[in-house]
């Protein structure tokens, strides 16, 4: 399920993807201006229902230079910001019943937002 969803998305935009196993895959989303953002997809069971968790790392938490970053997530339709394992990340959840167009929109939002703040906080194209 995870691999098929990410492979379909990657093929639709001409991106590279890697399948780690049946439950985890990553896609490297081209952002433009020679920048890329990786989005990791991983199978999760939440309250007995299967979902795909999408995650894109932004920076380590020490690099956060904008104390109002969490207020900026109000402009997101699908993603939310979290600190996990000392990294600021943007996450969203999808299921395989969503249309490929909606899945693409969600992945694009995570990658674009993640890249904007990764560049702002680190000045580099790390993730």
pTM: 0.93
On whether the CB atoms of residues 117 and 59 are closer than 8 A, the answer is yes
pLDDT, tens only, 29-65? 999 889 999 999 999 999 999 999 999 999 998 888 8
- CATH match for 2-122 among 2.40.50.200, 3.30.1460.10, 1.10.3720.10, 3.30.70.100: 3.30.1460.10
pLDDT of residue 124: 86
Low-confidence ranges of the chain (pLDDT < 70): none
* Residues above pLDDT 90, as percent of the chain: 75
The enclosing H or E element of 104 equals helix 100-122
Spell out the SS3 assignment of 10-21: HHHHCCEEEEEE
């Amino acid at each position: 399920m995870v691999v098929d969803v990410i492979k379909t998305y990657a093929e639709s935009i001409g991106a590279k993807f890697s399948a780690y196993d049946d439950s985890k895959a990553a896609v490297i989303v081209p952002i433009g201006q020679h920048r890329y953002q990786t989005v990791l997809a991983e199978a999760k069971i939440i309250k007995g229902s299967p979902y795909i968790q999408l995650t894109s790392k932004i920076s380590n938490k020490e690099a956060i230079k904008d104390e109002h970053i969490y207020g900026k997530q109000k402009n997101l339709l699908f993603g939310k910001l979290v600190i996990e394992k000392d990294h600021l990340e943007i996450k969203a959840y999808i299921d395989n019943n969503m249309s490929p167009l909606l899945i693409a929109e969600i992945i694009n939002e995570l990658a674009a937002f993640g890249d904007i703040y990764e560049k702002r906080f680190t000045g580099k194209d790390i993730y």
